[in-house]
Amino acid sequence: MTTLLYDGSFEGLFTAVFEVYEYKFEPAEIISKKNHQTESIFSETHEVITNEKKAKRVLQKLEANLGKKGVSQLLRVYLSEKEHAERLILSAVALSLEFPKENILNNFAHPDMMEIAKITKSMSREVHRMHAFIRFEKLQDEVYFAKIEPDFNVLPLIISHFKNRYQDQKWMIYDIRRGYGVFYDLEEAQFFEPNFDENFQLKKTGSLLHEEEMNYQKLWQRYFFKTNIPERKNLKLHVQSLPKRYWKYLTEKY
């Protein structure tokens, strides 16, 4: 067994996939360095240096065999942060090379392909919820800011939605759980990683709110309270539609 250690990036992962075949490692497993714990006497390690050309060759081959939709599914598996994500992707690559004329991702009789389908479905559900439940707050510098804590690393998958929807205003979405965010400056959206002090400030934005925002929130909370009908309250249905883990970022739930 050869264990390939990569830097955790998408390009690094597919560089590792390329090198599995380049160096004929069999059997092989791919693990990100941050998740690699102990050396094993039964496994040799191979350190992967991210190479965009190698990664691109793998992705081009996968797109030819699986189509853009198939590559998108594997991206979602990677972003799911599942412990076995690398194994599932390597399995999909192996099957796509063995059966290049078939869309192996639709082979639900294969346990790995079935697991990929389940992960893709869960990721799509989380993306949909982010589209629906993200709440922006206007800051004093007139940037609209939102905090999220999704179960999966879906921030890269929701950028285009908000970029298209809010083209005429500056906005920022920050993933508290993963410590990074994206900022749109009216032209392009860029990722950023705040330092310790900035991270603390982004978690506690109450003192940074624009006066208009504070007035709006009070108005919205009052409206929500007035329109609520206690006799028709159905908490079970409400939680099914709007899971409690999203409540702390909704203005009406403050």
- Express each pLDDT in 178-214 by its tens digit: 999 999 999 999 999 998 778 778 887 878 889 988 8
Q: What average pLDDT does range 137-142 have in this prediction?
A: 94
Taking the C-alpha atoms of residue 226 and residue 215, their distance in angstroms, rounded to an integer, is 17
* Block residue for tokens 């624009």: 210
Give CA separation, 9 vs 35, 58, 218, in Å: 13, 15, 42
Q: Which residues contact 85 (CB under 8 A, 6 or more apart)?
A: 77, 78, 119
DSSP-derived 3-state class of residue 143: coil
Strands 180-184 and 171-175: antiparallel
Express as a percent the part of the chain with pLDDT over 70: 89
Each residue of 221-232: pLDDT tens digit? 776 676 776 766
Check if the beta carbon of residue 55 is closer than 8 Å to that of residue 14: yes
Strand segments (E) across 64-194: 137-138, 144-148, 171-175, 180-184, 189-192
Taking the C-alpha atoms of residue 59 and residue 55, their distance in angstroms, rounded to an integer, is 6
Give CA separation, 245 vs 129, 130, 150, in Å: 11, 12, 9
Task: For the sheet with 189-192, list strands across it.
Answer: 137-138, 144-148, 171-175, 180-184, 189-192
Q: What average pLDDT does range 57-66 have in this prediction?
A: 96
Q: Quick one: which H or E segment has residue 5?
A: strand 2-6
Each residue of 109-130: pLDDT tens digit? 999 999 999 999 999 999 999 9
The model's confidence at residue 11, banded by pLDDT at 50, 70 and 90, is very high
pLDDT at 223 (0 to 100): 67
Q: Please give the model's pTM, rounded to 2 decimal places.
A: 0.86
Taking the C-alpha atoms of residue 98 and residue 159, their distance in angstroms, rounded to an integer, is 35
Taking the C-alpha atoms of residue 177 and residue 149, their distance in angstroms, rounded to an integer, is 5
Q: What average pLDDT does range 76-94 have in this prediction?
A: 97
The model's confidence at residue 235, banded by pLDDT at 50, 70 and 90, is low
Type of residue numbered 30: I
The whole-chain average pLDDT of the chain stands at: 90
The model's confidence at residue 41, banded by pLDDT at 50, 70 and 90, is low
- Higher pLDDT: 172 or 233? It is 172
Taking the C-alpha atoms of residue 110 and residue 108, their distance in angstroms, rounded to an integer, is 5
* Block residue for tokens 């709440």: 135
The model's confidence at residue 21, banded by pLDDT at 50, 70 and 90, is very high
Check if the beta carbon of residue 77 is closer than 8 Å to that of residue 38: no
Q: What average pLDDT does range 167-173 have in this prediction?
A: 96
Express as a percent the part of the chain with pLDDT over 90: 70
pLDDT at 234 (0 to 100): 60
